[in-house]
Structure 1
């Protein structure tokens, strides 16, 4: 029995030393307001492994979860910049576990090409990552052209327009720039997002049937010409 126990301990030590992978934490500014704290392999700093957090300048977490060999795994939590829980999403099961109610103060609006009645049962499209962190990749895709950098920030705003197909994929991506009383310029953006998961949504439904839906997201323009969610 002693030999068996000794052999088991030796094997356990082998597996722990052979497969445990040392990590380090890297910081990366995601937006002007949000910084990522990413655990990566010490031997390969391009591979995310272990804990992840995205925090505001006030050190409030807007996203927390874990990576396993560069893939999101398990339960992730997503918050607004005030620390209110917006969403729980299980990336292993690909399951939405919680989505906070959305009211008229939200910066997102949803539109379907269908006349709705009072009896229709509707469900909006949902982005894994929640209504704040989940849309940051779209904000990062746009920057004011050089010839518009002088535009008044106080008199201007941007609306991101996303078309989500009934199959839950990004079908169209536009950016609308509004300034003053009459200025309106539309930028047609590529739908080829850097990460495939950024193109995936839980689609909108009407009476249980998937339907295409446009999402409009109001944003502000920062001093560098990038976009921020209010």
Structure 2
């Protein structure tokens, strides 16, 4: 009888929760990623409940839960092949698992580090999933097309400056095309804060500011630099 009562209560709770929310689906900026989530009926700016991010090839890239508009509990993140690359506990603000292969090619600049220091490099929360929207905004795309015109491929060197909390304070990208280089300032303020967060760099268990550098080469499909969703990343 107790089990039946518990099941009934869970059913009523889930039904009530479903009645309080509305499901939404939207494209993540500057990417081919589709987000599926629910928002409160009373305030459709507040996410509530399960969240899933899916790539254009239908691979799940992120799964987790929102509570009153904030990420809560353990979230799982996957690469484009569907391999689990990271888990993060948003309730405890703790990185619980990170696959080192997902950080291949990243470079780090930390001032004042000594050879005998205990160093922990910063980790992008969300892994490669959350890196993607920061790579190629429409404003940057338009500026590059205007400055360089038709091109076959391009190399992007992104430099993220982080404070001791792991927050991005500055984002610059050096674009290299046909032997020419140009530096652009990137504004990531339109992106969700959770998409630009890092677990901070640590030296002797103390968080410090640092820089993270990533290099990507993009092949163009039609001579002009396309949006990220229509480009092919050849390497990181």
> Which residue does the alignment assign to 1:7?
none
- Aligned positions, number: 219
The change in CA–CA distance for 1:166 and 1:43 in structure 2 (over 3 A counts) is: closer
Q: 2:162 aligns with which of 158, 161, 164?
A: 164
Q: CA deviation at 1:177?
A: 0.6
The change in CA–CA distance for 1:72 and 1:153 in structure 2 (over 3 A counts) is: farther
Instruction: Report if the CA contact (8 A) 1:143-1:226 is conserved.
Output: no
Unpaired stretches in structure 1, ≥5 consecutive residues: 1-10
- Aligned-pair RMSD on alpha carbons? 3.5
CA distance in 2, matches of 1:38, 1:14: 21
Q: CA deviation at 1:63?
A: 0.5
The residue correspondences of 1:14-93 to structure 2 (distance < 5 A) are 21-30=19-28, 31-42=30-41, 44-93=43-92
The change in CA–CA distance for 1:66 and 1:209 in structure 2 (over 3 A counts) is: closer
Q: 1:109 aligns with which of 107, 110, 130?
A: 107
**More helix as a share of residues:** 2
Q: CA deviation at 1:72?
A: 1.3
CA distance in 1, matches of 2:63, 2:187: 28
SS state at 1:21 partner: helix
CA distance in 2, matches of 1:13, 1:62: 29
CA distance in 2, matches of 1:29, 1:19: 25
SS state at 1:133 partner: helix
Please identify the structure whose Cα radius of gyration is greater. Answer: 1
> Which residue does the alignment assign to 1:6?
none
1:132-164 per-residue CA deviation (whole Å, 9 max, x = no partner) reads 12223422545321414634242x121211011
Is residue 135 of structure 1 aligned with residue 134 of structure 2? no
Instruction: Report if the CA contact (8 A) 1:175-1:186 is conserved.
Output: yes
Unpaired stretches in structure 2, ≥5 consecutive residues: 1-8
TM-score normalised according to structure 1 size: 0.76
Q: 1:184 aligns with which of 168, 181, 187?
A: 181
The change in CA–CA distance for 1:15 and 1:81 in structure 2 (over 3 A counts) is: closer
Instruction: Report if the CA contact (8 A) 2:134-2:188 is conserved.
Output: no
Instruction: Report if the CA contact (8 A) 1:53-1:64 is conserved.
Output: yes
TM-score normalised according to structure 2 size: 0.75
